[in-house]
């Protein structure tokens, strides 16, 4: 496992151990949102009137440092949803990304689009927590998990009505895809070199078994890239920094979506 990822995963294990003490599973199950019927990102990605973009709320990252420390989560996520986001991705990690579970819950109260809990899930507890805070989808990162762990955590998620996005970056990780997973995210960014390579992602996507919903993640900053990826069979486009680094991320998103719609119409 790559260094920064190993560090994050080690940190997550300590956070989970503490959380289990402070807020046992029983308490999670008693949260009102725990019984909420989830929204399907797979279904939303198929709606032709939406953009296909999963718009991410991210304050900072280990590679970029501070990206946005001024735009409130309520404002940005509502603007994203109103402008045609097919889904939202919200970082809930505090230490490395400056997010929190409360960010997701605040957005949940305001939007009717699927929300992905963007975090580093290594324990079943975090899946239950995702449900309790109002998420619809969890991210599982192939690099951090064995195939068996992916299957076990996916089963827990599906039993709670949550969908799973399995993120990968290398050919070796293809073997972690199974019938348990129906949505695969291909990270365009290499977590070691931070280099973005769209062609590599397209080549990797071509090797996925048929029937998987494909999401391209990271480093997307223009409409032509989205069109290229769509033509290669991707139906979702996860974008964070390109909008978050603007003064008004919601307005930037609206402009981008309008330009995308115009280009598609031509």
Ligand X SMILES: O=P(O)(O)OC[C@@H](O)[C@@H](O)c1c[nH]c2ccccc12
Residues of this chain that bind ligand X (CB under 6 A): 56, 58, 118, 167, 187, 217-220, 238-242
User: In whole angstroms, how close is the CB of 180 to ligand X at the nearest point?
Assistant: 20
> What residue is closest to ligand X based on CB?
240
Q: Residue ranges of the alpha helices (H) in 164-209?
A: 198-205
Can 148 be counted among the known catalytic residues?
A: no
As a whole number of angstroms, the distance between CA 201 and CA 146 comes to 21
222/258 with CB nearer ligand X: 222
User: Of 34 and 232, which has the nearer Cβ to ligand X?
Assistant: 232
> Any idea which residue has 């889904």 for tokens?
87
Of 30 and 222, the one with the shorter C-beta distance to ligand X is: 222
Q: Which is nearer to ligand X, 3 or 179 (CB)?
A: 3
92 contact partners, CB below 8 Å, separation of at least 6: 99, 100, 101, 103, 104, 117, 118, 119, 133
168 φ, ψ to 5°?
A: -140, 170
The catalytic residue among 167, 176, 188, 201 is 167
**In 38-64, which positions are buried (b, 16+ CB within 10 angstroms) versus exposed (e)?**
bbebbebbeeeebbbbbbbbbbbbeee
**Catalytic annotation, pick one of 58, 131, 176, 214:** 58
Tell me the C-alpha distance between 165 and 140, whole Å: 6
Say whether 100 is catalytic: no
Catalytic residue at 46?
no
**Active-site residue, 82 included:** no
- Cβ at position 50, least distance to ligand X in Å: 18
| DSSP bridge partners of 88 | 55, 115
CB 240 to ligand X: min, Å: 3
Cα separation, 167 vs 131, in Å, equals 19
**Residue 61: active-site member:** no
Residue 1, Cβ neighbours under 10 Å: how many? 13
- Report CA Rg, the chain: 17
User: Taking the complex as a whole, how short is the minimal distance between the CB of residue 116 and ligand X, in angstroms?
Assistant: 10
Q: Cβ closer to ligand X: 118 or 176?
A: 118
Q: Which of 56, 143, 163, 241 is catalytic?
A: 56
Please say if 217 is a catalytic residue: yes
Catalytic residue among 61, 71, 86, 118: 118
Least Cβ distance, residue 141 to ligand X (angstroms): 6
Q: How many CB atoms lie within 10 A of CB 78?
A: 16
Q: Reply yes or no on whether 102 is catalytic.
A: no
Q: Which residues carry out catalysis?
A: 56, 58, 118, 167, 187, 217-218
């Amino acid at each position: 496992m790559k260094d920064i990822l190993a560090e994050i995963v080690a940190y997550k294990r300590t956070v989970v151990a503490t959380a289990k003490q402070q807020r046992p599973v029983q308490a999670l199950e008693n949260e009102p949102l725990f019984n909420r019927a989830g929204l399907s990102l797979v279904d939303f990605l198929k709606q032709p009137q939406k953009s296909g973009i999963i718009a991410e709320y991210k304050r900072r990252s280990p590679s970029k440092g501070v990206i946005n420390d001024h735009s409130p989560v309520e404002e940005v996520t509502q603007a994203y949803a109103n402008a045609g986001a097919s889904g939202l991705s919200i970082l809930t990690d505090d230490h490395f990304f400056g997010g929190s579970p409360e960010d997701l819950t605040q957005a949940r109260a305001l939007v009717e689009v699927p929300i992905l809990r963007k975090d580093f899930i290594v324990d079943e507890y975090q899946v239950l927590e995702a449900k309790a805070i109002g998420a619809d989808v969890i991210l599982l990162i192939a690099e951090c998990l064995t195939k068996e762990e992916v299957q076990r955590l996916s089963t827990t998620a599906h039993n709670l009505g949550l969908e799973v996005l399995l993120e990968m970056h290398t050919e070796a990780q293809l073997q972690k895809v199974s019938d348990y997973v129906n949505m695969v995210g291909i990270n365009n960014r290499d977590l070691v070199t931070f280099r973005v390579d769209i062609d590599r992602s397209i080549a990797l996507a071509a090797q996925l078994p048929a029937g998987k919903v494909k999401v391209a993640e990271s480093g997307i900053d223009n409409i032509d890239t989205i069109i290229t990826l769509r033509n290669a069979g991707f139906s979702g486009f996860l974008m964070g920094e390109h909008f978050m680094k603007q003064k008004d991320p919601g307005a930037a998103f609206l402009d981008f979506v309008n330009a995308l719609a115009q280009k598609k119409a031509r």
